[in-house]
Amino acid sequence: MKTFALVDCNNFYASCERVFDPSLKKRAIVILSNNDGCIVARSNEAKALGIPMGVPFFEQVAVIKKYNVAVFSSNYQLYGDMSQRVMDSLRLYTPDMEVYSIDEAFLRLDHLQPRNLYEYCKTIRAKVLQWTGIPVSIGIGPSKVLAKIANNIAKKQTGVFDLRSQQTQDEILKTLNVNKIWGIAGRWSERLRRMGIHKASELRDASPTIIRKHLSVVGERILRELKGQSCINLEEIQPRKSIMSSKSFGNLLTKKAPIEEALANYAARACEKLRKQNSRAQAVHVFVQTNGFRETDKQYNNGLTCTLTTPTSDTRLIIGAAKFCLSKIYKQGYRYKKTGIMLTGLIPASLEQKQLFVDFTHCPGDHLMDVVDRINKNHGPDTLFFGAQGVTREWKMRCGSRSPRYTTQWNELLTVS
């Protein structure tokens, strides 16, 4: 039998903030999305106050003020670096690991004696806390879906929960609603409800053929995983198939120039990610959007894909292509909320197909980009940037209450007095 453990950081972003500011220990904390728009993470205390996930920040201002909730803009440099530390710690305990998201990892622990497993996970938990300051919960199961369910129970109990025995599975799945299962959300649970399936155990015991007919092969896999038949394996780290960068503006924009400037910044960011995974893009997709929430505003959403003559990861070429796309879709007379770029048709740099009639021998692009990346890595983002990215950047998103980037910026290190 396979053994999966899902390690999930508790209230990850809130926990990151607490590592560097112990005065937040017992306090309710919320973390906001980009542009300080929505609430995307909450400490347990904030959850207990009834502050929901994913709702607009402004709707919660009253309760936040009333209970003196600590509010943070998102600080992805900090969270990304802390995530790296947690993952590095976990990797010491098993060679078979899949980093599933910024705050979760699946481990394969088949090599351990089954009866030692629980204690082993307790140790992992204690060590991650000691080394990084981040509390985690660990769920154990014979499949990923069951490990996920075990993890949810671990969170509410003592931090580690073992869901390998048939008897425990029977008990737990009988009371678990289908919409709590990993991979089943609103639409599908509604569809299942109409089929008379409400509980996880009912889905597990349903006919695979019928489930496949209604929820495709994806649904059938979940059913089998609930039975303990593992069919979703650990995945190797794959290069991304598409890379996106987009953000809302701090204020609505009407003129083309600032939109173009913002777009150049997102393009530069996307290219950085592209080079980091050593890929080239064959196509560039650019889109613009007005604010759909403002019902009285004239709405306009459009996008355009253009194919590149040669696959590239050269920021200068991608910015050029992005500007071209924007020039085709930008229309005067609208108040724009957001623009973005998506790089698609990604291929490994080693497979790049050059053009027959273009001489590439004196093309300094790769070396130049390499220098830019290294300088920005060592001296901080935007130490070197492209003219098209602008200097004042008045379109920049709101980010009023970001904590210091304690672990990645020399001038923002924690001060101890």
Q: Is 244 in the site for DNA (CB under 7 A)?
A: yes
Contacts of 169 by beta carbon, 8 Å cutoff, 6+ apart: 146, 163, 228
Interface with DNA includes 349 (CB under 7 A)? no
Cβ count within 10 A of residue 347: 14
Which among 80-88, 106-114, 182-190, 371-379 is the span making contact with DNA, rule CB under 7 A? 182-190
CB 115 to DNA: min, Å: 29
Cβ distance to DNA smaller for residue 341 or 372: 341
Shortest CB 158 distance to DNA, Å: 21
Does 43 bind DNA (CB under 7 A)? Our answer is no
Residue whose CB is less far from DNA, 164 or 285: 285
One of 165, 177, 207, 242 touching DNA (CB under 7 A)? 242
3-state secondary structure of 47: helix
Per the CB < 8 A criterion, the answer to whether 139 and 169 are in contact is no
At how many degrees (to 10) do helices 186-194 and 208-226 cross? 120
Looking up tokens 């931090």 gives: 159
Give the Cα separation of 94 and 80 in Å (integer): 21
The number of residues that bind DNA (CB under 7 A) is: 47
Q: Binding segment for DNA among 63-71, 118-126, 332-340, 361-369 (CB under 7 A)?
A: 332-340
Q: Give me the residue label for tokens 């980010």.
A: 399
Output the six-digit token pair for 210: 């019928």
Tokens of 278: 């050593």
What would you report as the CA-atom Rg of the chain, rounded to the nearest whole angstrom? 24
Q: Is 241 in the site for DNA (CB under 7 A)?
A: yes
**Closest approach of DNA to the CB of residue 136, in Å:** 13
* CA–CA dist 241, 221 (Å, integer): 23
Q: Does 396 bind DNA (CB under 7 A)?
A: no
Question: Out of 85, 91, 108, 247, which residue is the one contacting DNA (CB under 7 A)?
Answer: 247
Give Cα separations from 165 to 108, 114, 145, 381 (angstroms).
17, 11, 15, 49
194 is a contact residue toward DNA (CB under 7 A): no
Nearer to DNA, 56 or 348 (CB): 56
- Residues contributing to the site for DNA (CB under 7 A): 33-35, 37-38, 40, 54, 56-58, 100-104, 148, 182-189, 216-218, 240-248, 252, 266, 273, 291, 293-294, 337-338, 340, 342, 397
